[in-house]
Amino acid sequence: MKAVRIHQFGGPEVLTYEDVPDPQPRKHQVLVRVRACSLNHLDVWVRKGLPGVKLPHILGSDIAGEIVEVGEYIGGFKAGQRVLLAPMFFCGHCAKCVAGLQNQCREFTALGNAVDGGNCELISVPAANVIPIPDSLDFNQAASVPLVFLTAWHMLVGRAGIRPGQTVLVLGASSGVGIAAIQIAKLFHCRVITTAGDEAKLAKGRDLGADFGINHYQQKISEGVRKITNKEGVDIVVEHVGVATWDESVKSLKSGGTLVTCGATTGPNVSIDLRHLFGRQLTLLGSYMGTMGELHEVLKHVFAGRLKPVVDRVFPLSELRVAHEYLEKSQMFGKIVVNP
């Protein structure tokens, strides 16, 4: 089969489109023909070098396609069935997995991180990862859902305990997590403020349901929040940018507010004045992907059309280098997808 692999860490030039052996599924696995695989910033970080990645390596966490072959231990699936894949790997038998807390498993990782991913024509995965999709979703849309909608759902529902009527600040309206978080917050009938670096992206954020937009190049985020909320602040901040926005995110919280973070795109080293933390009784939460139960929960809303994936551009798999270059420019609104 054709695949794109990295044989060394570095820039987009290390992505090599080449022939590799077809995967041989085990009896408990399903062989899937990849029709679409969307990009995430995780792909860039792995490409540049992360611990635990063995070379050569295939990137790609978000996968949709058709079942080719079903292992003899597996029931309930058939060849030709349209599916997406849960973007995670876990042992399935430890105490955390048995309790339904797969994202706390010691072996937990994303597809395309410590295990090979979907930048290829065929992939074998355990049956638990295989989820049928409705005809209403094409492959590009389906591949744009799993990682970011699971991450945003776990942040807002699983960690922050979102409630109707709250005010939520979503950083980065054009990012995958931002697009998902705006819609999830509106699903809970919350007032949503979002941010972006230009008016076109803010307008698209409003189209997704955001009530207010803040251009972070024209004013400080916290100043915009204070103006919108009459100096009260927000109940929840969805933070995934890191050092560039951290201080503004904390300042945007109301007393008793919650900041939940899942990433550090602009850098991980942040600081906080502990007097503000305990004096304002703030809650700071970390969030890492999500559980299989949460994935199935959020997918019900996606499949019903209440939450909608957004596709920015589609590239052939053979042009994955160009797709990575486009991703790193951060000019997109929505997901970048490659088609084998």
Tell me what pLDDT residue 265 has: 87
Tell me what pLDDT residue 124 has: 98
Q: Mean pLDDT over residues 140-144, rounded?
A: 98
Domains of the chain, each with CATH number or no CATH: 2-145+309-339 (3.90.180.10), 149-286 (3.90.180.10)
Average pLDDT, the chain: 97
Cα 52 to the chain's mean position, in Å? Answer: 20
Asked if 243 and 264 count as a contact pair (C-beta separation under 8 A), the reply is yes
Please tell me the number of Cα atoms within 13 Å of 38 on its side-chain side. 30
Instruction: Count CB-CB contacts under 10 A for residue 1.
Output: 14
Greatest extent of the chain over all pairs of C-alpha atoms, in Å: 62
Q: Rounded to two decimals, what is the model's pTM?
A: 0.97
Q: What letter would DSSP give residue 314?
A: E
In the predicted model, is pLDDT for residue 285 greater than 90?
A: yes
Question: pLDDT tens across 240-281, in order?
Answer: 999 999 999 999 999 999 999 999 988 899 999 999 999 999
Backbone angles phi, psi at 157, to 5 degrees: -90, -55
Q: What letter would DSSP give residue 120?
A: B
Please tell me the number of Cα atoms within 13 Å of 179 on its side-chain side. 24
Question: pLDDT tens across 90-122, in order?
Answer: 999 999 999 999 999 999 999 999 999 999 999
3-state secondary structure of 2: strand
Q: Mean pLDDT over residues 306-333, rounded?
A: 97
Kindly state the helix (H) or strand (E) to which residue 234 belongs, with its residue range: strand 234-239
Identify the sign of the CA torsion 286, 303, 114, 333: negative
* Separation in Å, CA 287 to CA 6, 78, 195, 303, 331: 28, 35, 20, 24, 26
Question: pLDDT tens across 14-23, in order?
Answer: 999 999 999 9
How far is residue 128's CA from residue 78's CA, in Å, rounded to a whole number?
Answer: 14
Please give the share of the chain, as a percent, with pLDDT higher than 70. 100
Q: Mean pLDDT over residues 60-82, rounded?
A: 96
Q: Mean pLDDT over residues 131-160, rounded?
A: 98
Asked if 132 and 200 count as a contact pair (C-beta separation under 8 A), the reply is no
Kindly state the helix (H) or strand (E) to which residue 225 belongs, with its residue range: helix 221-228
Question: pLDDT tens across 174-222, in order?
Answer: 999 999 999 999 999 999 999 999 999 999 999 999 999 999 999 999 9
